[in-house]
Amino acid sequence: MNIVVTGGAGFIGANFVYYMLENRPEDRIICYDKLTYAGNLATLEEAQKNKQFKFIKGDIADREAVYKMFEEEKPDIIVNFAAESHVDRSIENPEVFLQTNVIGTSVLMDACRKYGIKRYHQVSTDEVYGDLPLDRPDLFFTEETPLHTSSPYSASKASADLLVMAYHRTFGLPVTISRCSNNYGPFHFPEKLIPLMIINAMHDKKLPVYGDGLNVRDWLFVKDHCAAIEIILRKGKVGEVYNIGGHNERQNIQVVKAILKELGKGEELIEHVTDRKGHDRRYAIDPTKIREELGWEPTTSPEVGIKATVEWYKEHEDWWQNIISGDYQKYYAEMYGKKEIID
Ligand code: NAD
Ligand code: TYD
């Protein structure tokens, strides 16, 4: 099979590339990625040594380039990870989120219609369901939960999901969608909570916790997400949505304290700052469907996963030093410079 992984130079896409090269050595894996600020070829250095792997630089919203890639690579499967993925950036500049996440998705699906495809898989997010209240721990997102988005990021992802389902119903495109909870692990770009806190703490820099820090996220080790997508490609039913999560809810403040403990640093580094606009309170996935229908279960608890992730960042300083030495400093100054300390 020829499997095109769009966005494969980013965090989850790259982990998926490695997962597939290891677990499906008979398949060709083609990474198609625009290499935005979040894409990093250094992440794919090991993959480039594998004959079954190929990298193509390109934009999913560039119709000509996407069609050319289809003509040359003849994909059997598309797994679309390519996206603008950071909520804070979507609040500052929504437009690029619409361009990549919505228009890009439609261009990919048009190519699938034109050239034919065995499966188009859309990597979506639990954020399309909006948020849950903190005082109702009995509530979870199921696949039937209505879409109810909060940020320009989640609105763009929900729009893409609706388009994917429309292409299935209208044109019979063989699609599946997965909606996963927050991931963490190797190659996570340090604008997101866990890698940002690890790197700041390693530098004895303040850890900027938004608001009261009581917001809850449902954390999944990235390899478990990759395994779930691989199972959906093999056993998932066309036209279906699968939620992915492992009942690993943690408050942000708990996650930050666990990182400090792992690094042997003090909690005085924590600084509560101005809250994110429209900040979702709680995400929590009900993974019953994927467990019962496809037999997927997560294997890594947050305790083990966070320890492994901190170790990875300690051992791969070259990887993240390269990232934080460039435009990242400007991003950090602009994004965090305007936040006020609130405790
Ligand atoms: P990321 O920001 O780390 O990587 C995104 C990748 O997409 C980068 O390599 C970037 O260069 C590429 N890209 C961006 N725009 C592109 C375009 N127009 N054409 C081609 N490539 C482009 O993102 P991530 O955290 O790895 O997320 C991957 C996918 O998983 C996204 O669709 C996201 O919505 C979804 N998701 C993420 C999480 C999470 O916790 N990170 C959880 C659930 C779902
Ligand atoms: P993030 O990693 O951006 O993922 P998402 O918003 O998509 O869930 O943020 C995770 C949580 O951590 C979210 O509640 C916002 C919070 N957060 C902070 O408190 N400080 C930070 O510097 C960042 C980046 C996030």
Q: Which ligand is nearest to the CA of 156?
A: 1
Choice from 30, 66, 85 to test ligand 1 binding pocket (greatest atom count within 8 A of CB): 85
Determine the residue of 5, 6, 11, 79 to mutate for testing ligand 1's pocket, defined as the one with the most ligand atoms within 8 A of the Cβ atom: 11
The pLDDT value given to residue 2 = 98
Q: What span, in angstroms and rounded, lies between the C-alpha atoms of 185 and 190?
A: 11
What single letter denotes the amino acid at residue 210? Y
Residue 325 in any domain: the answer is no
For the chain, how many structural domains are there in total? 1
| Residue 135, pLDDT above cutoff 70 | yes
Q: State both tokens at 224.
A: 């478990």
Dist. CA 192 → ligand 2 center (Å): 6
Give the domain extent around 97.
Answer: 2-184+219-244
Evaluate whether residue 271 is within a structural domain: no
Give me the active site residues, please.
126-127, 153
Q: Return the pLDDT at 338.
A: 92
pLDDT of residue 213: 98
Domain assignment of residue 200, yes or no: no
The answer to whether residue 256 sits within a structural domain is no
Confidence check: pLDDT of 34 > 70: yes
**Tokens (6 digits) for 241:** 């949505």
Q: Provide the pLDDT for residue 343.
A: 67
In angstroms, rounded to a whole number, what is the distance separating the alpha carbons of residues 54 and 63?
20
Could you read off the pLDDT of 139-161 as tens digits, one per residue?
Answer: 999 999 999 999 999 999 999 99
Q: Which CATH number does the domain housing residue 91 bear?
A: 3.40.50.720
Listed in sequence order, the DSSP H helices in 116-221 are 152-171, 193-202
Please report whether residue 259 resides in a domain.
no
With CA atoms as reference, report the closest residue to 153 among 109, 191, 184, 201. 191
Q: Whose structure tokens read 């170790």?
A: 311
- What is the structure's pLDDT at 189? 98
pLDDT above 70 covers a percentage of the chain that reads: 100
Measured CA to CA, the distance from residue 315 to residue 77 in angstroms comes to 34
In this prediction the pTM is: 0.99
Looking at the domain assignment, is residue 71 inside a domain?
A: yes
Substitution candidate for ligand 2 out of 179, 193, 200 with most atoms within 8 A of CB:
193
Query: How would residue 326 be classed by pLDDT, with cut points 50, 70 and 90?
Result: confident
Residue 128 domain-assigned? Answer: yes
Span 190-227, pLDDT tens digits: 999 999 999 999 999 999 999 999 999 999 999 999 99
Ligand 1 atom 4 nearest Cα: 10
Q: What is the mean pLDDT of residues 27-41?
A: 98
Which residues approach ligand 1 with their CB closer than 6 A? 6-7, 9-13, 33-36, 38-39, 59-61, 81-85, 100, 104, 123, 125, 157, 180, 182-183, 189
Establish if 19 belongs to a structural domain: yes
Model confidence at 228, pLDDT cuts 50, 70, 90, reads very high
Tell me the percentage of the chain whose pLDDT exceeds 90. 99
Q: For 259-274, what is each residue's pLDDT tens digit? A: 999 999 999 999 999 9
CB 111 within 8 A of CB 67: yes
